[in-house]
Amino acid sequence: MRVIAGSAGGIRLAVPNRGVRPTMDRVKAAIFSSLGDAVISARVLDLFAGSGALGIEALSRGASSVVFVEEDRQSAEIIEANLAKTQLRGRIRHQDVFDFLRHASAAETFQIIFADPPYEKTNRGERYTEKLLTDDGLQRSLESSGVFVLEKRPNEVLPKMKLWRIVRQKTYGATEVLFLSAIRN
């Protein structure tokens, strides 16, 4: 896995040995092609960051800042190593994504939020996708004109969404990418 474009283009990224399903380069290329210039100077949140590949790609392409949220210690250390290797700067939050969202400051919002949650269920039997799409802390974290980019299984049925509107969706093999905007009342 590598950084595709920008200041760190071509640099290979390390990937944790376990518990991570990295976004394929062609899926990452498609996501960033869709986002286009919206990445430049954007404040980005990378949830379930894994190796940090999505956030690092955003930084490489000109994002002003990225907050990486990753609960797994080994993965957080890999993100730190990947940032050092690419000579990019980001903030790493070693904590549960939903805990982060619950305690997120209303003063810090993001223009782009990436989420590539595990495909399996949480310890309590909930689906990560459904839990994200019903989390109002996530919606509060996104600026009103921002975009939420969610990766999921193509056959995973979405819950009835009260907080989000699908702007675009595309399937790439075993991954479906949704571009969502927040529904504001």
**Beta pairing partners, 114:** 46, 149
pLDDT digits (tens, 9 = 90+) for 33-60: 999 999 999 999 999 999 999 999 999 9
Q: Which has more confidence, 77 or 173?
A: 77
Side chain identity at 58, as an amino acid letter? Answer: A
The edge-to-edge listing of strands for the beta sheet with 91-93 is 91-93, 65-69, 43-47, 110-115, 142-152, 175-182, 164-172
Tell which residue, 107, 101, 99, has the closest CA to residue 43.
107
Q: What is the pTM of this model?
A: 0.94
CATH number of 25-182: 3.40.50.150
The pLDDT of residue 127 is 86
pLDDT at 158 over 90: no
Contacts 24+ apart (CB under 8 A), 66-70: 66/90, 66/91, 67/91, 67/93, 67/110, 68/92, 68/93, 69/45, 69/93, 69/95, 69/97, 69/100, 70/94
Domain boundaries, the chain: 25-182
Confidence of residue 70 (pLDDT cuts 50, 70, 90): very high
Read off the pLDDT band of 1 (50, 70, 90): confident
Q: How would residue 88 be classed by pLDDT, with cut points 50, 70 and 90? A: very high
